[in-house]
C-alpha cells in the first residue's frame, strides 16, 4: 500500500507521518504541494505544521495548493484522507469537513500527552480501534479549538461523526470536547492531536497512535478483497 | 549629501566623522586611519564600528577566552575547534554534531517576544552555517522574582516568542532552564542553544575559497531593522533635524526561517556550497569580511545588487542591517543555476552579490563607485584587544564570611515537612511545565528525553540508535560567592546531568552573562569564571567548542549575578539504553551516590527561606565528579539502571520528590543513623546522584561503585504502587499534595489575569 504525505511550505510533521506510515507497514510517498499528481497513492495524510506560517487563517492558503485539487476530487470518490493538526485545518478550509479551528481558549500553544476516547470506529482511519478505546497521544497546537454552529454539532453528534474526544482535560476549549471528526462517508478524518508522534515507545508516550495508520491499511485491504 | 567614496575620502582627508557616536574610541578611529592610510569612508567606518563592537569583536573578553584554547584537553572527538561559528565533535559512525549557545538578553528585555524569537532564529542559522542539520533547541532563561510585575510582562513574552518562532521551525525544544533571582529583574537572560548533526564529509566552514567563486545572498530581503548606531551616519546624510530612528530590535519571520532551513539543507545535500555563513550581528559587513578573511583573502561585492525591502536604504545601512533570515553562500559559477533552482523551489529569493578574488582586499561598489576598500582581516579578526583592569571586590571577603550556619534550621518533623513543601513549591524548584508545555518537544520524532529530565536527548541515527544528550546549567548564586568555583560547579552539574541519562560527555559550550566589563569587580568575576571553566574542562577532559559573551547586564551600578551558563554535550551509542528519572512502580532500592556535607552557601534553602546569600559554595572535586560520571555511563550501557537523577538545587529531598512525581510512585526512605536529617535532605553538596539499580543488577552495581571508591548510601525503597513519600520516623507527604504544590507555583502567578 502506498500512502502519500503532502509537504506544504511550512509543513513540519511530514517526515514523522512518513515514519509512522512505514512503521505501520505501508510505503510512504512524499507529495509536493506544487504538483497536481497523486502518483497513484491509496491514501493521503496532510501533516501538521504551520503551512505558509499560518500568518493568515490556518490552512487558508494551503487549500489553494495545486495538490489539493486531486485530493478534494478523489476524496469525493472515497480516497482515504487524514488531516492531522494543520492538516485538519486545511480539510476544514477545503470544506471536506465542517467547522473551523480557532485559537486555544488559553491563548497559549499547548504541547502535552493527551488522553482521548475513540468514539467512532467506522471510519477508514479508526476501524482498527475498539469502540470507546482510550488512548494517549501527543497534542501540540496553538489553534485547535474546534467550533461549528449548533446545527452542525448536532448533526456530527447525531450521526456518530465525532471520531475522538478529549478525556480528563479539554486542552483548547473545543466544542463538545471534539478532538477529531469524519465526513459522512468516513474516508476523510480530521484530528487535532498527533498519532504520528505515538508510534514508538522510545520517542512518544506510547504506541497508541499506530491504530490510525493500521486502520487505513485494514480498510484498504478489505476494499481490495470485497 | 552625495556618496562618500574611497576617492572622496582621499580627496577630503580632513572631513569630520562621527566615530564616537558609533561607539568607537579616538584611538580606535586613529587605528582605522592607520590601517587604511587615509580616513575611512562612511561605509568603512560603519563596518569597523560594528565589527569592532564588544558584541562582535570580544575585545574585552578575548584575552581571557584564550584559555579555552590554551588549556584545551586532548580530545579525540574534536573536529573543529573554537573560533568557527560553532565547534564540531565526532560522535562516531561517521556522524558529527555541532552545538552552540548564544545570548539575546537585551533585546528580550526591550521587546520580549521578538527578542527571544530572533534569538532562536540566530542560533539555528549559526548551526546551519557549519553544514549541519539542526536537530533540537534548548533555552536557558533567567528572570526577576516570579511575582514581580515586570516578570509577568517579560516571561510570558519570552516564552511565547521562543514557542512562536521555534515551534514554526520544526525543531524539538528539549529542555533548558528557568531560574528566578531579583538581580535579573531589569536584565532577563535569554540564552538559546541549538544542536545540529551532519556526516563528517559534510562539514562546511565559513570561508570564501576558490577565486572566481560567487557570493550568493539568499533568504529574506534586507530592511532597515536592527541598524542601531549606524543611523547616526544615515541621519547625517539625509536629515537636517535629527537622527532617523530605526528600530534596533529585529523582527523575526519564522516561516521564512523554515524555508531558509529547507533550502539550505537542499543545497548542502546537493554539494552546491563551497563555504557558508549566516547573517547575524553586523549583517553583510560581518558575513563578507569573515568569509573573505577565512578564505582566499579577497572579495568584491556589488552592494546595489542586494534585494531590499526598503529601497530608500543607503549603503551604510545595507552593510549594517541585521534583518533576520538571511544566509550567504560561496558557490562555484557552474553550480549557480542549480543553487538558484533549489532556492526557487522553496520560494527563497537569492542573488549573486559578489565574487571571490585573491586581491587581499574586501572591495564594495555602489552603482559603480568604490565605497569600501579594506583588508578583510582588519575588520573581522584584528580588532582592538583590551586588558581591562580587574580586581577582587572589597565586599567579597564579607560575603564569604557571612556563613549560612547562623541561619535558623528546621529540626522537628513538622518543620522539616513544611520546609520540603515550601521548597518544592518555590519558583526555582517548582515544575516548569507552564513554560515547556508551550514548546513542541515531539516534532521530528527523535526526542528521547525532554524536560523535566536532567538532560535533553535526541536520536541522531534511526538505524543504529546513536544519539546525543545536552544539558545547560548555572547557579549564579554559587558564582557570586566564588566565580571560579561557581563556573566549575555549573560545568560539573551540566556534566552530571548528561551522565545520569547514560550519555558520555564530549564537549562544552558556554554563554557568559555578566555586568559591565568597565567595572573591575565584574571583570574579576568574569576572569575568575573563565579561568575556573577552562581549568574544569581540562580536568574533565572535555574541550570548549564555542560560546558567547554577554556583558553590560546590569541596572545602574548593580550587575546581575555572574551567570556563566555551561552547556555539555554527550554521546550515547544506543538511545534505547537511556536512563530516565522515572523509577517505575517498584519494588527497587534507592541509593545516593556521593558524599553529603553540611553545605548551604548559595543553596536554594538559604535563598528561598531566608533570602540569604553568603558563605562559600559547595566544595567540588572534579576527580570525584569524573568517577561518578564514568560509573553512571558504564552502568547505563550495561543496562544496570532503572532510574537516575542528578542532585543539585534543593538537594536530596527535591530529587526524591521529582522522581516520585514523574513516576507516580512513592517511596519509603530512611535517614542514615548519625546524620542530621536537615543536612541529609537539603544540603546541596556537589557530585551526587540518586540511582535506582535494576534489582537483578543491584549487587554488581554496588561492586562497581566500591571498586571506584565512590560512596553509596542506601536511601530507601520504591513502594510498589505507593502514593506517599515517607521519611521513616520523621514525616510523610502524599504524592497528590506534592504534585499539586510542585505544579501550582508558576500557573498561580502567570495564569492570573491581574
Preferred mutation among B155, B342, B445 to probe A, highest tally of A CBs within 10 A: B445
Matching residue, cell 565559513: B206
Phi, psi of B372 (to 5 degrees): -140, 135
- Over residues B448-473, the mean pLDDT reads 96
Per the CB < 8 Å rule, is A203 touching B459? yes
Q: What is the pLDDT of residues B401-460, one digit of tens each?
A: 999 999 999 999 999 999 999 999 999 999 999 999 999 999 999 999 998 999 999 999
Measured between CA atoms, the residue of chain A closest to residue B162 is: A109
What's residue A56's pLDDT? 86
* Cβ count near A136 (within 10 Å): 18
Cβ(B141)–Cβ(B158) below 8 Å: yes
User: Binning pLDDT at 50, 70 and 90, where does residue A54 land?
Assistant: confident
Burial (CB < 10 A; 0-12, 13-18, 19+), residue A123, is buried
In this complex, how many residue pairs, one in chain A and one in chain B, have their CB atoms less than 8 Å apart? 85
* Cβ count near B253 (within 10 Å): 22
Query: Residues 6 or more apart from A172 whose CB is under 8 A from it?
Result: A104, A105, A106, A110, A141, A144, A145, A146, A192
Cβ(B188)–Cβ(B111) below 8 Å: no
Q: How many Å from the N-terminal Cα to the C-terminal Cα in chain B?
A: 53
The three grid cell numbers given for residue B250, joined into one nine-digit string: 529585529
- Residues of chain A in Cβ contact (below 8 Å) with chain B: 9-10, 12-13, 15-16, 19, 49-50, 52-55, 108-112, 138, 140, 142, 194, 196-197, 199-200, 202-204
With CA atoms as reference, report the closest residue to A86 among A110, A57, A66: A57
Q: How far from A164 is each of A88, A204, B152, B497, CA to CA, in Å?
A: 13, 19, 36, 39
Residue A10 with chain B: CB contacts under 8 Å:
168, 255, 258-259
Residue B437 with chain A: CB contacts under 8 Å:
110-112
Cβ(A45)–Cβ(A87) below 8 Å: yes
Across chain A, what does the average pLDDT equal? 96
What's residue B362's pLDDT? 96
Query: Residues 6 or more apart from B294 whose CB is under 8 A from it?
Result: B205, B206, B207, B208, B275, B380
Q: What is the pLDDT of residues B534-585, one digit of tens each?
A: 999 999 999 999 999 999 999 888 999 999 999 999 999 999 999 999 999 9
What's residue B244's pLDDT? 46
CA distance linking residue B725 with residue B669, whole number of Å? 8
Active-site annotation holds for B607: no
CA distance linking residue A176 with residue B92, whole number of Å? 51
Residue B134 with chain A: CB contacts under 8 Å:
none
CA distance linking residue B254 with residue B368, whole number of Å? 35
CA distance linking residue A166 with residue A204, whole number of Å? 18
Pairing between β-strand B275-278 and β-strand B544-550 as defined by DSSP bridges: unpaired
Q: Which residues pair with B571 in a beta bridge?
A: B468, B504
With CA atoms as reference, report the closest residue to B494 among B556, B397, B569, B398: B569
User: Binning pLDDT at 50, 70 and 90, where does residue B207 land?
Assistant: confident
Task: For CA atoms B693, B694, B695, B701, give the dihedral sign.
Answer: negative
User: Binning pLDDT at 50, 70 and 90, where does residue B242 land?
Assistant: very low
DSSP calls for A146-198? EE--HHHHHHHHHTT-EEEEE-S--SS--GGGEEEEE-SSSSEEEESS-GGGS
Across chain B, what does the average pLDDT equal? 93
What angle in degrees, to the nearest 10, is found between the helix axes of B483-500 and B520-540?
40
Give the angle subtended at the CA of B80 by the CAs of B77 and B84, to the nearest 5°: 150
Report the run of H or E that residue B492 belongs to, with start and end: helix B483-500
For B170, the closest of A49, A112, A194 (CB atoms) is: A49
Per the CB < 8 Å rule, is B258 touching A10? yes
Query: Residues 6 or more apart from A61 whose CB is under 8 A from it?
Result: A51, A52
A-contacting residues in B 139-168 (Cβ below 8 Å): 160, 163-164, 167-168
Per the CB < 8 Å rule, is B168 touching A204? no
pLDDT over 50 (residue B503): yes
Range scoring the smallest mean pLDDT among A89-103, A148-162, B309-323, B385-399: B309-323
Query: How many domains, chain B?
Result: 1
Residue B300: give its domain's CATH number: 3.90.650.10
* Cβ count near B587 (within 10 Å): 12
Does residue B66 fall inside a structural domain? no
Measured between CA atoms, the residue of chain B closest to residue A202 is: B448
With CA atoms as reference, report the closest residue to B288 among B46, B82, B92: B46
For A109, the closest of B163, B447, B575 (CB atoms) is: B163
Cβ(B645)–Cβ(B516) below 8 Å: no
CA distance linking residue B24 with residue B118, whole number of Å? 26
Measured between CA atoms, the residue of chain A closest to residue B171 is: A12
Query: Residues 6 or more apart from B168 whose CB is under 8 A from it?
Result: A10, A12, A50, A53, A54, B254, B255, B257, B258
pLDDT over 50 (residue B231): no
Task: Indicate the length of chain B as a whole number.
Answer: 754
- Over residues B124-137, the mean pLDDT reads 93
Cβ(B622)–Cβ(B540) below 8 Å: yes
Per the CB < 8 Å rule, is A197 touching B445? yes
Residue A142 with chain B: CB contacts under 8 Å:
167
Measured between CA atoms, the residue of chain A closest to residue B576 is: A202
Q: What is the pLDDT of residues B186-196, one digit of tens each?
A: 999 999 999 99
Phi, psi of B147 (to 5 degrees): -90, 5
CA distance linking residue B496 with residue B614, whole number of Å? 25
What's residue A152's pLDDT? 98
Q: What is the pLDDT of residues B158-185, one digit of tens each?
A: 999 999 999 999 999 999 999 999 999 9
Measured between CB atoms, does B259 come within 8 Å of chain A? yes
What's residue B234's pLDDT? 42
What angle in degrees, to the nearest 10, is found between the helix axes of B735-750 and B651-663?
100
Tell me the nearest-neighbour CA distance from A59 into chain B, angstroms.
Answer: 14
Task: For CA atoms B160, B165, B168, B169, give the dihedral sign.
Answer: negative
Q: What is the pLDDT of residues A164-206, one digit of tens each?
A: 999 999 999 999 999 999 999 999 999 999 999 999 999 999 9
Per the CB < 8 Å rule, is A12 touching B438? no
Residue B441 with chain A: CB contacts under 8 Å:
111
What's residue B249's pLDDT? 66
Per the CB < 8 Å rule, is A15 touching B445? yes
Does residue B662 fall inside a structural domain? no
For A108, the closest of B438, B440, B445 (CB atoms) is: B438
Per the CB < 8 Å rule, is A12 touching B163? no
Strands of B150-258 (E only): list them: 173-180, 189-199, 214-219
With CA atoms as reference, report the closest residue to B704 among B638, B656, B621, B620: B638
Measured between CB atoms, does B459 come within 8 Å of chain A? yes
Residue A9 with chain B: CB contacts under 8 Å:
255, 258-259, 346-347
Burial (CB < 10 A; 0-12, 13-18, 19+), residue B552, is middle
Does residue B569 fall inside a structural domain? no
Measured between CA atoms, the residue of chain A closest to residue B450 is: A203
Per the CB < 8 Å rule, is A15 touching B444? yes
- What is the three-class DSSP state of B466? coil
Domain coverage including residue A139: 2-224
Q: Which residues pair with A113 in a beta bridge?
A: A138
- Over residues B243-262, the mean pLDDT reads 77
User: Binning pLDDT at 50, 70 and 90, where does residue B236 land?
Assistant: very low
Matching residue, cell 547505563: B636
Domain coverage including residue B328: 6-61+203-380
The three grid cell numbers given for residue A39, joined into one nine-digit string: 502518483
My answer on whether omega of the bond before B222 falls inside 30° of 0, hence cis, is no
Task: For CA atoms B407, B409, B415, B420, give the dihedral sign.
Answer: positive
Does residue B247 fall inside a structural domain? yes
Query: How many domains, chain A?
Result: 1
Residue A57: give its domain's CATH number: 3.40.50.880
pLDDT over 50 (residue B533): yes
What's residue B208's pLDDT? 79
Tell me the nearest-neighbour CA distance from B572 into chain A, angstroms.
Answer: 14
Q: What is the pLDDT of residues A63-104, one digit of tens each?
A: 999 999 999 999 999 999 999 999 999 999 999 999 999 999
Task: For CA atoms B469, B475, B480, B484, give the dihedral sign.
Answer: negative
Q: What is the pLDDT of residues B342-354, one digit of tens each?
A: 999 999 999 999 9
Alpha carbon B504 to chain centroid, angstroms: 20
The three grid cell numbers given for residue B496, joined into one nine-digit string: 552530571
Measured between CB atoms, does B170 come within 8 Å of chain A? yes
User: Binning pLDDT at 50, 70 and 90, where does residue B465 land?
Assistant: very high
Q: What is the pLDDT of residues B46-98, one digit of tens each?
A: 999 989 988 888 899 999 999 998 998 888 888 887 666 678 999 999 999 99
Half-sphere exposure of B489 (CA within 13 A, CB side): 30
Tell me the nearest-neighbour CA distance from A205 into chain B, angstroms.
Answer: 10
CA distance linking residue B543 with residue B588, whole number of Å? 37
Residues of A that are catalytic: 85, 194, 196
Amino acid at each position: 500500500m502506498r500512502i502519500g504525505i503532502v509537504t506544504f511550505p511550512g509543513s513540519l510533521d511530514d517526515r514523522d507521518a512518513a515514519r509512522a506510515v512505514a512503521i505501520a507497514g505501508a510505503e510512504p510517498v512524499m507529495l509536493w504541494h506544487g504538483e497536481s499528481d497523486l502518483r497513484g497513492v491509496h491514501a493521503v495524510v496532510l501533516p501538521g505544521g504551520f503551512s505558509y506560517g499560518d500568518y493568515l487563517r490556518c490552512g487558508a492558503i494551503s487549500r489553494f495548493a495545486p495538490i489539493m485539487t486531486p485530493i478534494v476530487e478523489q476524496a469525493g470518490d472515497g480516497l482515504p484522507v487524514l488531516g492531522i493538526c494543520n492538516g485538519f485545518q486545511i480539510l476544514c478550509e477545503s470544506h471536506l469537513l465542517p467547522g473551523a479551528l480557532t485559537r486555544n481558549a488559553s491563548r497559549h500553544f499547548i504541547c502535552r500527552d493527551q488522553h482521548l476516547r475513540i468514539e467512532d470506529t467506522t471510519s477508514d482511519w479508526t476501524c482498527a480501534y475498539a469502540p470507546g478505546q482510550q488512548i494517549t497521544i501527543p497534542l501540540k497546537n496553538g489553534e485547535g479549538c474546534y467550533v461549528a454552529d449548533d446545527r452542525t454539532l448536532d448533526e456530527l453528534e447525531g450521526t456518530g461523526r465525532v471520531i475522538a474526544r478529549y478525556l480528563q482535560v479539554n486542552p483548547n476549549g473545543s466544542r463538545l470536547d471534539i478532538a477529531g471528526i469524519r465526513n459522512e462517508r468516513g474516508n476523510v478524518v480530521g484530528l487535532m492531536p498527533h498519532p504520528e508522534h505515538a508510534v514508538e515507545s522510545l520517542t512518544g508516550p506510547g504506541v497508541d497512535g499506530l491504530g490510525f495508520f493500521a486502520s487505513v491499511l485494514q480498510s484498504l485491504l478489505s476494499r481490495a478483497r470485497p | 549629501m552625495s556618496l562618500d567614496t574611497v576617492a572622496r575620502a582621499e580627496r577630503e582627508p580632513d572631513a569630520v566623522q562621527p566615530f564616537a557616536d558609533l561607539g568607537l574610541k579616538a584611538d580606535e578611529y586613529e587605528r582605522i586611519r592607520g590601517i587604511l592610510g587615509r580616513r575611512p569612508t562612511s561605509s568603512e567606518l560603519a563596518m569597523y564600528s560594528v565589527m569592532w563592537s564588544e558584541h562582535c569583536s570580544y575585545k574585552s573578553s578575548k584575552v581571557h577566552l584564550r584559555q579555552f584554547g590554551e588549556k584545551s584537553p586532548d580530545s579525540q572527538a574534536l573536529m573543529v575547534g573554537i573560533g568557527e561559528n560553532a565547534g564540531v565533535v565526532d560522535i562516531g559512525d561517521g556522524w558529527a554534531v555541532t552545538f552552540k549557545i548564544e545570548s539575546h538578553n537585551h533585546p528580550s528585555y526591550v521587546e520580549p517576544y521578538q527578542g527571544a524569537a530572533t534569538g532562536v532564529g540566530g542560533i539555528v542559522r549559526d548551526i546551519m552555517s557549519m553544514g549541519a542539520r539542526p536537530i533540537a533547541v534548548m533555552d536557558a532563561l533567567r528572570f526577576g522574582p516570579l511575582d514581580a510585575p515586570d516578570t509577568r510582562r517579560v516571561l510570558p513574552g519570552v516564552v511565547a516568542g521562543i514557542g512562536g518562532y521555534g515551534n514554526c521551525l520544526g525543531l524539538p525544544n528539549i529542555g533548558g532552564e528557568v531560574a528566578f533571582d531579583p538581580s535579573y529583574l531589569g536584565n532577563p537572560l535569554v540564552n538559546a542553544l541549538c544542536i545540529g548533526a551532519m556526516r563528517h564529509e559534510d562539514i562546511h566552514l565559513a570561508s570564501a575559497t576558490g577565486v572566481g567563486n560567487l557570493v550568493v545572498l539568499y533568504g529574506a530581503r534586507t530592511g532597515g531593522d536592527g541598524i542601531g548606531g549606524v543611523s547616526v551616519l544615515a541621519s547625517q546624510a539625509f536629515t537636517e533635524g535629527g537622527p532617523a530612528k530605526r528600530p534596533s530590535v529585529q523582527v523575526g519571520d519564522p516561516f521564512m526561517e523554515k524555508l531558509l532551513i529547507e533550502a539550505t539543507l537542499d543545497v548542502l545535500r546537493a554539494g552546491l556550497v563551497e563555504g557558508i555563513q549566516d547573517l547575524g550581528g553586523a549583517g553583510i559587513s560581518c558575513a563578507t569580511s569573515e568569509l573573505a578573511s577565512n578564505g582566499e583573502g579577497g572579495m568584491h561585492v556589488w552592494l546595489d545588487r542586494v534585494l531590499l525591502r526598503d529601497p530608500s536604504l543607503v549603503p551604510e545601512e545595507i552593510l549594517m542591517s541585521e534583518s533576520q533570515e538571511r544566509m550567504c553562500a560561496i558557490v562555484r559559477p557552474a553550480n549557480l543555476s542549480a543553487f538558484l533552482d533549489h532556492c526557487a523551489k522553496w520560494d527563497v529569493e537569492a542573488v549573486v552579490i559578489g565574487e571571490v578574488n585573491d586581491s587581499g582586499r574586501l572591495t564594495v561598489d555602489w552603482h559603480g563607485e568604490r565605497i569600501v576598500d579594506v583588508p578583510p582581516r582588519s575588520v573581522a579578526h584584528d580588532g582592538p584587544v583590551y586588558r581591562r583592569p580587574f580586581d577582587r571586590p572589597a565586599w567579597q571577603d564579607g560575603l564569604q564570611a557571612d556563613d549560612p550556619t547562623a541561619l535558623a534550621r528546621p529540626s522537628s518533623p513538622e518543620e522539616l515537612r513544611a520546609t520540603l513543601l515550601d521548597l518544592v513549591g518555590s519558583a526555582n524548584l517548582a515544575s516548569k511545565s507552564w513554560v515547556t508545555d508551550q514548546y513542541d518537544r515531539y516534532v521530528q520524532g527523535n526526542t528521547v528525553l525532554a524536560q523535566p529530565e536532567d538532560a535533553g536527548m535526541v536520536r541522531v541515527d534511526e538505524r543504529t540508535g546513536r544519539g546525543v544528550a545536552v544539558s545547560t546549567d548555572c547557579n549564579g548564586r554559587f558564582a557570586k560567592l566564588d566565580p571560579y568555583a561557581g563556573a566549575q560547579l555549573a560545568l560539573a552539574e551540566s556534566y552530571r546531568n548528561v551522565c545520569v541519562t547514560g550519555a558520555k560527555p564530549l564537549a562544552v559550550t558556554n554563554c557568559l552573562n555578566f555586568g559591565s566589563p568597565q567595572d573591575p569587580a565584574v571583570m574579576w568575576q568574569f576572569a575568575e569564571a573563565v579561568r575556573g571553566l577552562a581549568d574544569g574542562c581540562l580536568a574533565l577532559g572535555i574541550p570548549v567548542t564555542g560560546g558567547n559573551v554577554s556583558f553590560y547586564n546590569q541596572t545602574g551600578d548593580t550587575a546581575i549575578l555572574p551567570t556563566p551558563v555551561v552547556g555539555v554535550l554527550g554521546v550515547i551509542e544506543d538511545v534505547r539504553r537511556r536512563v530516565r528519572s522515572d523509577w517505575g512502580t517498584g519494588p527497587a532500592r534507592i541509593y545516593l551516590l556521593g558524599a553529603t556535607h553540611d553545605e548551604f552557601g548559595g543553596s536554594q534553602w538559604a535563598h528561598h527561606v531566608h533570602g540569604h546569600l553568603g558563605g562559600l559554595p559547595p566544595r567540588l572535586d572534579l576527580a570525584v565528579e569524573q568517577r561518578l560520571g564514568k560509573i553512571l555511563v558504564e552502568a547505563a550501557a550495561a543496562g544496570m539502571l532503572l532510574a537516575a537523577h542528578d542532585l543539585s538545587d534543593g538537594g536530596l529531598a527535591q530529587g526524591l520528590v521529582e522522581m516520585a512525581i514523574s513516576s507516580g510512585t512513592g517511596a519509603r526512605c530512611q535517614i542514615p543513623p548519625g546524620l542530621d536529617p536537615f543536612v541529609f535532605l537539603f544540603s546541596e553538596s556537589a557530585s551526587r546522584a540518586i540511582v535506582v539499580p535494576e534489582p537483578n543488577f543491584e549487587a554488581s552495581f554496588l561492586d562497581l561503585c566500591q571498586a571506584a571508591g565512590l560512596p553509596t548510601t542506601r536511601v530507601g525503597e520504591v513502594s510498589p504502587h505507593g502514593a506517599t513519600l515517607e521519611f521513616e520516623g520523621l514525616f510523610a507527604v502524599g504524592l497528590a499534595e506534592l504534585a499539586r504544590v510542585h505544579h501550582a507555583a508558576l500557573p498561580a502567578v502567570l495564569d492570573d489575569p491581574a
